Amino acid sequence: MSKTNLRVRPKGTTGQVHDVTPASAGWTYVGFALHKLSAGEKAGGQAGDKELCLVLVSGKARIAVDGVDFGEIGERMTPFEGAPYAVYVPMGSSWSADATTPLDLAVCAAPGGGDHKAHVIAPGRHPRITRGKGANVRHVYNIMPEDDGAAHSLLVVEVITPQGNTSSYPPHKHDQDNLPHESMLEETYFHRLNPPQGFAMQRVYTDDRSLDEALVIEDGDVTLVPKGYHPVATTAGYDLYYLNVMAGPKRVWKFHNAAEHEWLLQ
């Protein structure tokens, strides 16, 4: 049994089923929400002092920011069907989403700043990357990577891990503000499984084992990674999707591999 609250289960099956805030997570930077809407339903809000990335995990919607209508966007009906559509919402802006099909809409949040403009992030803006080999293969869809200059603090990425494979592996961490060697980033994982009755495993642990949690991940769960290593393994027959949101004092993803497992990269 987990002794902490690092695994967050969805609260219901409709409406806003996740609402992770810095206050609820006990940290400083990252927020994550998920809205499950039927066609014709709406969601919206104010960015305030945050910047947001609205990710259409599945389904289509008409998205507007500060009254500017970006039209109907979205094309995939499950998160296992290629890259997503997303919309960047700058701090101080309002946003709305009108679902035109069943919709899972993720709202990724971090402190805002700078003179960034609202814009649509279309599939293909960043090419798919395949990492690893053998049973460590996974497919990466960057949405807001550090090299695109499109945000103040948000880093957002999707990963598909084929059945039976490991991911975020070899174990790595990013919990020290020690650039250029390592950056400090809080992180959330939003998990989906295909077929949905499957499960995966995620371990979150530090070198001194002051934090050492093994979590059973089911479809729709969110994992909180305040610090430490955080590898994931899915099970035979079940592909795993996860959406990562990261943010910290600097918009840089520089991680440190667990020394005892670095031989796996050779």
Q: Which two tokens stand for residue 213?
A: 């949690």
| Contact present, 19 and 105 (Cβ < 8 Å) | no
pLDDT, residue 3, reads 52
Compute the distance between CA of residue 11 and CA of residue 14 in angstroms, rounded to an integer.
9
| Beta bridge partner(s), residue 74 | none
> Cα(235)–Cα(238) distance, rounded to whole angstroms?
6
For 131-149, the pLDDT digits (tens) are 999 999 999 999 999 999 8
Rounded distance, CA 84 to CA 142, Å?
10
Q: What is the mean pLDDT of the chain?
A: 96
Q: Which fold has domain 7-265?
A: Jelly Rolls (2.60.120)
Burial of 246 (0-12, 13-18, 19+ CB in 10 A): buried
Answer yes or no: is pLDDT of 1 > 50.
no
pLDDT tens figures, 150-207 = 899 999 999 999 999 999 999 999 999 999 999 999 999 999 999 999 999 999 999 9
- What residue segments make up the domains of the chain, in order of their start? 7-265
Contact call for residues 133 and 219 (beta carbons, < 8 A): no
